[in-house]
Structure 1
């Protein structure tokens, strides 16, 4: 199996949306409660630029099976080198080590776009993601108790962070 990242193109947006929507019913991964549409995600897609806040697709054996994005953490200039990371994988490849392969590529990608600090927002119930980020040296930098209500139950938000100097 040959895995690679490549810059996402607008033609990738439908598969990016499909992979994202796969996670909504579990109420473990994202705070969206209903599936999103390609039209709804188009502005988000266009906010990503290859030179600072890129969006990649994860390609496995020539098929798009996931995506990785760096997004602004907070809209003030002093935070320009800090990014929120998002990593989503198609249900057919989850649990097979692909997330680890992608996170191994993050330091090099950060250098290319001038970012130094990565934050991951993860629900406390999403133990596989917390375990994955801890495996790569991310630490819990924040904890927001019961900030989300998903399917009638409260969920905490864990903020994992790591500096790459």
Structure 2
């Protein structure tokens, strides 16, 4: 029995170690490629939701979204002297007045492109359905549809007559409103920049912004675009018991 055992040749243990090592390396490489592709998809989708925006001149079909965003600011009582929410019908007259005076209203949309190509050339369909938070508020992009062919409106801005008399036509007032759920993404800045670039087309040489003196966020936003302090009207607005002063910011377009 001992003699027979002496002739048995057991496999070299080092072969097992080499085999296991090779298998482990192949597994890690395969898993790593899949993980890379998965992470690339996530990054592409995050980039899609965060960076695809379009600014265009508003049409009447946009009034529902414009009114919703404006009424959110009305309730916050820090950006407009309107004390009660307005209706879409009321905004129709406002819209018509802007069109008649050739003072544009712009909307900023978040666009969803359902087909993406990753860095490795793979094409896949992005998940860009509307996202909601726990309270039902809209948080992200909306897939285009028949009723909403271009995507969700997240902000709007406008130019208005600074004064109704003809001599003031070279000066316009700028307004910008961003939906509460879309703030902190730089959308207000995008609109301000776009309006400044396009204002000369309408004969505008000066732009003023009328901002509550307590609204630090808006004051800082316009300061970034070169608006200077042109004056202040102290305690001129009664917001239902809260007295506000009005800061006048201005910028010359050249």
Cα displacement (A) at 1:27: 1.3
Q: Contact 2:155/2:188 (CA < 8 Å) preserved in 1?
A: no
Cα displacement (A) at 1:79: 0.8
Q: Contact 1:51/1:113 (CA < 8 Å) preserved in 2?
A: no
Cα displacement (A) at 1:38: 0.9
Cα displacement (A) at 1:51: 8.0
Runs of 5+ in structure 1 lacking a partner? none
C-alpha separation in 2, matches of 1:129 and 1:26: 14
User: What residue in structure 2 maps to residue 33 of structure 1?
Assistant: 83
Cα displacement (A) at 1:81: 1.4
C-alpha separation in 1, matches of 2:237 and 2:55: 31
- Which protein has the bigger helix share? 2
User: What residue in structure 2 maps to residue 155 of structure 1?
Assistant: 244
Q: Contact 1:55/1:69 (CA < 8 Å) preserved in 2?
A: yes
From the superposition, tell whether residues 51 and 147 of structure 1 become closer, same or farther in structure 2 (CA, over 3 Å). Answer: closer
Q: Contact 2:155/2:187 (CA < 8 Å) preserved in 1?
A: no
- Whether 1:146 aligns to 2:196 is no
Runs of 5+ in structure 2 lacking a partner? 1-50, 112-150
- Which protein has the bigger strand share? 1
How many positions carry a matched residue from both structures? Answer: 165
Give per-residue Cα distances to partners, 1:11-31, cap 9 Å, x unaligned. Answer: 111110110000112211111
TM-score (norm 2): 0.62
C-alpha separation in 2, matches of 1:33 and 1:77: 29
Give per-residue Cα distances to partners, 1:40-67, cap 9 Å, x unaligned. Answer: 1111110112983111111122321111
Q: After the TM superposition, which of the residue ranges 27-36 and 103-112 deviates more from structure 2?
A: 103-112
- After TM superposition, the runs of 4+ consecutive aligned structure 1 residues lying more than 6 A away are none
Root-mean-square deviation (CA, aligned residues, Å) is: 1.5
Alignment counterpart, residue 43 of structure 1, candidates 85, 93, 98: 93
Q: Contact 1:141/1:161 (CA < 8 Å) preserved in 2?
A: yes
Q: Contact 2:236/2:244 (CA < 8 Å) preserved in 1?
A: yes
User: What residue in structure 2 maps to residue 54 of structure 1?
Assistant: 104
Alignment counterpart, residue 11 of structure 1, candidates 46, 55, 61: 61
User: What residue in structure 2 maps to residue 78 of structure 1?
Assistant: 167
C-alpha separation in 1, matches of 2:251 and 2:110: 27
Structure with the bigger RCO (C-alpha within 8 Å, sep 6+) is 1
Q: Tell which structure's C-alpha radius of gyration is larger.
A: 2
User: What residue in structure 1 maps to residue 137 of structure 2?
Assistant: none
Alignment counterpart, residue 69 of structure 1, candidates 151, 158, 176: 158
C-alpha separation in 2, matches of 1:108 and 1:52: 16
